[in-house]
């Protein structure tokens, strides 16, 4: 293994590799991925697997005309999940563990920390964590929605050194190669900006995949900002895995940031989502410049949405400029009350007694990143 620096990797496997014909699971393409996982582990690299495919694996148990129904899709996921997990499990002579997560779990700091601890504990006991979204319980509000982004959140939670996204295509092309014969493969991406996103189309069309290339770029952006080497590779071919083991790049490599964000800042920026907004004016900008991030009620113009103590809020200016995402120490109700006080003295005394409005331990400065 030529990647001695990879202490821990996350491998994401797309639906097309698991259930290529929507006729249940097939181990056809999984054999070389399993072999890669075995060889990584033998070389001392810990592995976390993020596996899609429950919906595709369960699809054959339901009539075609019902498959667009959301409740039926969840049933397909529930039925396909057991088949998917047992297909993986049969390929290993070490134990695996199923972890089903939702965004509601990941964006809650306490549950997130618990997920981290579980991953580390499984790895310490040489058990392979196999993660998927818990599709049966999700709603639009609760879900990550695609396993590319989920794998990046898991890679950050696991403090992984590398994220390998196995897809049905060689990597990121400058345009969709299925639509354009002259599309060129990008071997390396150092900066992820709008021009990179413009290369991907929308959500996946036709096949069994969900997110398409866009969600893979989103995942790469999340991962590289955490200092994680990210690859999109073709999971259909064994060559991809042999190249990775030799330290070569078989697809598209996204270079990690030199100065990764701190774990808690990364979580706030990329995993947590804002439950409400606080619109500010005046000196808050300056306190950000000084890195003190102290928000006072006199700077608040408006409070939008309903949030509780501990929820993440977005602090922004009236013109829409996003300043920070932060953990609120006040509920929206209390913050509205204090921000609408005409008596400044009462408000500042209240804040002195109750403590700062936003927690300085969980602040992601959106302007600077
Ligand atoms: N610029 C691009 N480069 C590569 N693939 C692209 C691009 N734009 C869109 N795609 C599509 O994204 C698909 C891969 O995403 P998806 O179907 O979700 O796969 P997976 O199941 O592996 O997540 C490709 O097969 C291709 O059709
Ligand atoms: N949680 C879903 C996977 C959703 C998903 O992102 O699929 P894919 O684009 O194939 O990685 C499932 O198990 O079917």
Return the residue whose CA atom lies nearest to atom 14 of ligand 1. Answer: 212
Cα angle for residues 340, 107, 86 (degrees, 5° grid) = 160
Q: What confidence score (pLDDT) does residue 232 get?
A: 98
Looking at residue 83, its pLDDT comes to 96
In the prediction, which pLDDT does 369 show? 45
Contact 326, 363 (CB under 8 A): yes
Query: Are residues 304 and 239 part of one domain?
Result: no
What residues have CB less than 8 Å from 114, skipping those under 6 apart?
A: none
ipTM, interface predicted TM-score of the complex? 0.97
Q: What is the mean pLDDT of the chain?
A: 90
d(CA 9, CA 6): 7
Verify that 255 and 217 share a domain, yes or no. yes
* Final residue before a domain boundary, out of 239, 266, 293: 266
pLDDT at 287: 63
- Which residues are within 8 A (CB) of 74 and not within 5 positions of it... i.e. 6 or more apart? 135, 136
Same domain, 152 and 291: no
Ligand 1: which of 209, 231, 237 to mutate, judged by most atoms within 8 Å of the beta carbon?
Answer: 209
Q: Do 214 and 355 fall within a single domain?
A: no
Query: Given 266, 299, 328, which residue is the final one in a domain?
Result: 266
How many domains would you assign to the chain?
2
- The size of the chain, in residues, is 369
DSSP H or E segment with residue 268: none
Model pLDDT, residue 1: 44
CATH number, residue 50: 3.40.1160.10
Give the residue, 58 or 290, on which the prediction is more confident: 58
Candidates 101, 2, 8; CA nearest to 51 is 101
Give the ligand whose atoms come closest to the C-alpha of residue 138: 2
- Ligand 2, CB within 6 Å, residue ranges: 14-15, 52-56, 77, 132-133, 135, 146-147, 204, 209-211
d(CA 276, CA 273): 9
Contact of 324 with 365, CB cutoff 8 Å: yes
So what's the pLDDT on residue 283?
62
- Return the closest-CA partner of residue 50 out of 143, 200, 158: 158
CA dist 324 to 116, 303, 348, Å?
25, 15, 22
Q: Where do we find the tokens 């399993």?
A: 34
pLDDT at 368 over 50: no
Mean pLDDT of 221-232: 96
Report which of residues 226 and 359 the model is more confident about. Answer: 226
- Residue 197 CA to residue 186 CA, distance in Å, equals 13
- Ligand 2 centre to CA of 59 (Å) is 13
Tell which of 233, 266, 299 closes a domain: 266
């Amino acid at each position: 293994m030529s990647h001695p620096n990879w202490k821990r990797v996350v491998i994401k496997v797309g639906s097309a590799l698991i259930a290529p014909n929507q006729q249940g699971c097939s181990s056809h393409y999984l054999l070389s991925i399993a072999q890669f996982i075995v060889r990584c582990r033998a070389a001392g690299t810990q592995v976390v697997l993020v596996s899609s495919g429950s919906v595709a694996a369960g699809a054959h148990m339901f009539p075609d005309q019902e498959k667009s129904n959301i409740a039926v899709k969840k049933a397909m996921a529930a039925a396909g999940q057991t088949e998917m997990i047992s297909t993986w499990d049969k390929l290993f002579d070490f134990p695996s563990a199923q972890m089903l997560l939702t965004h509601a779990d990941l964006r809650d700091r306490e549950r997130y920390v618990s997920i981290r601890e579980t991953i580390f504990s499984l790895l310490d006991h040489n058990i392979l964590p196999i993660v998927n979204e818990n599709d049966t319980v999700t709603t639009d509000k609760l879900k990550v929605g695609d396993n590319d982004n989920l794998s990046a959140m898991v890679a950050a939670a696991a403090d992984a050194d590398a994220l390998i996204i196995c897809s049905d295509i060689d990597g990121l092309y400058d345009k969709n190669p299925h639509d354009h014969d002259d599309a060129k493969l990008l071997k390396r991406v150092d900066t992820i900006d709008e021009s990179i996103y413009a290369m991907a189309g929308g959500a996946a069309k036709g096949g069994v995949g969900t997110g398409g290339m866009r969600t893979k770029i989103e995942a790469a952006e999340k991962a590289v900002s955490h200092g994680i080497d990210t690859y999109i590779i073709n999971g259909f071919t064994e060559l991809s895995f042999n190249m990775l083991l030799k330290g070569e790049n078989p697809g598209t490599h996204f270079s990690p940031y030199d100065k990764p964000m701190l774990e808690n800042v990364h979580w706030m920026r990329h995993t947590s989502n804002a439950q409400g907004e606080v619109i500010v004016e005046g000196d808050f900008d300056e306190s950000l410049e000084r890195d003190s991030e102290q928000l006072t009620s006199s700077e608040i113009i408006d409070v939008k949405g309903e949030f509780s103590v501990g929820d993440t809020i977005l602090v922004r200016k009236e013109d829409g400029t996003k300043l920070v995402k932060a953990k609120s120490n006040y509920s929206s109700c209390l913050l509205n009350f204090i921000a609408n006080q005409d008596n400044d003295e009462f408000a500042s005394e209240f804040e002195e007694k109750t403590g700062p409005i936003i927690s300085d331990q969980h602040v992601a400065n959106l302007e600077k990143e």
